[in-house]
Chains A and B, each alone.
Chain A
Amino acid sequence: AQKITQTQPGMFVQEKEAVTLDCTYDTSDPSYGLFWYKQPSSGEMIFLIYQGSYDQQNATEGRYSLNFQKARKSANLVISASQLGDSAMYFCAMKNTGGFKTIFGAGTRLFVKA
């Protein structure tokens, strides 16, 4: 069975510093995708970054990078140079390539301090 675990209910980071949000996953399927989404207080879900299980390099999108450690089954999100607008809920998600369902972790609320 698939499972996504986010163990940090809340995180604080100082503006302009980097922060790592943890995500571990479990699946028996060798081919899968990992995602991070941002949910600001307005409620919409915003796609941030994607990592395929066979990708050789860690994914990067601007200030977001995904620290993918396949052997440890972890897919941590790194946000560099945090901004006040980064304050939001962040969800890690996974989908097996041959499956239909994307499952989500419980989320981590990030607070960026000025």
Chain B
Amino acid sequence: NAGVTQTPKFRILKIGQSMTLQCAQDMNHNYMYWYRQDPGMGLKLIYYSVGAGITDKGEVPNGYNVSRSTTEDFPLRLELAAPSQTSVYFCASSPGQGLSGNTIYFGEGSWLTVV
């Protein structure tokens, strides 16, 4: 089972550069999420999507954009990278609403450093 796949795993960006973190899931989950985890901290929600064509902001959306053209893919775009965006990024998915559909499945994380 591939589950949730993120690429790249590591990336160093220069200030002002742009990049896209790719995320794909093969579990036919409706919900997908992007979180960031700063050193020694918990996870903060950047954006989420409840289905293809539908996205919404989380707690910390500034400096990021997302799209959800298919059920499987949920890329995260960083425009004009800033040092404050140095973090570990986790893509995740869940089946959807309902008590048993709440569990989130995470990708392995993408370590991003902006210098």
> Are chains A and B native binding partners rather than an unrelated pairing?
yes
The main secondary structure of chain B at its interface with chain A is strand
**Who on chain A is nearest to B44 by CB?**
A104
Indicate with 1 or 0, residue by residue over B99-115, a CB within 8 angstroms of chain A CB atoms. 10011111011010000
Interface residues as binary, A98-109 with B (CB distance below 8 Å gives 1, 0 otherwise): 101111111100
Give the interface segment out of A47-55, A65-73, A76-84.
A47-55
Range, interface on chain A = 20 to 34
Given A43-B108, A100-B31: A35 and B103 interface contact (C-beta under 8 Å): yes
Please tell me if B58 contacts chain A, counting CB pairs below 8 Å: yes
Report A-chain residues with C-beta under 8 Å of the C-beta of B90: 45
Question: What 0/1 pattern do residues 74 to 88 of B give for CB contact below 8 A with A?
Answer: 000000000000001
The number of residues on chain B lying at the interface, defined by a beta carbon within 8 Å of a beta carbon of chain A, is 26
* B6 CB, nearest partner CB in chain A, Å: 10
Partner of A100, one of B50, B88, B111: B50
Q: Which residue of B lies closest to A52 (CB)?
A: B99
Given known A-B contacts A52-B99, A54-B99, A101 and B58 have beta carbons under 8 A apart: yes
**B99, A104: Cβ atoms under 8 Å?**
no
Most buried by A among B31, B90, B94, B106: B106
Partner of B108, one of A44, A97, A100: A44
Interfacial residues of chain B within 15-42, with CB under 8 A of chain A in the complex: 31, 33, 35, 41-42
* B interface with A by C-beta (< 8 Å): 31, 33, 35, 41-43, 45, 48, 50, 56, 58, 88, 90, 92, 94, 97-99, 102-106, 108-109, 111
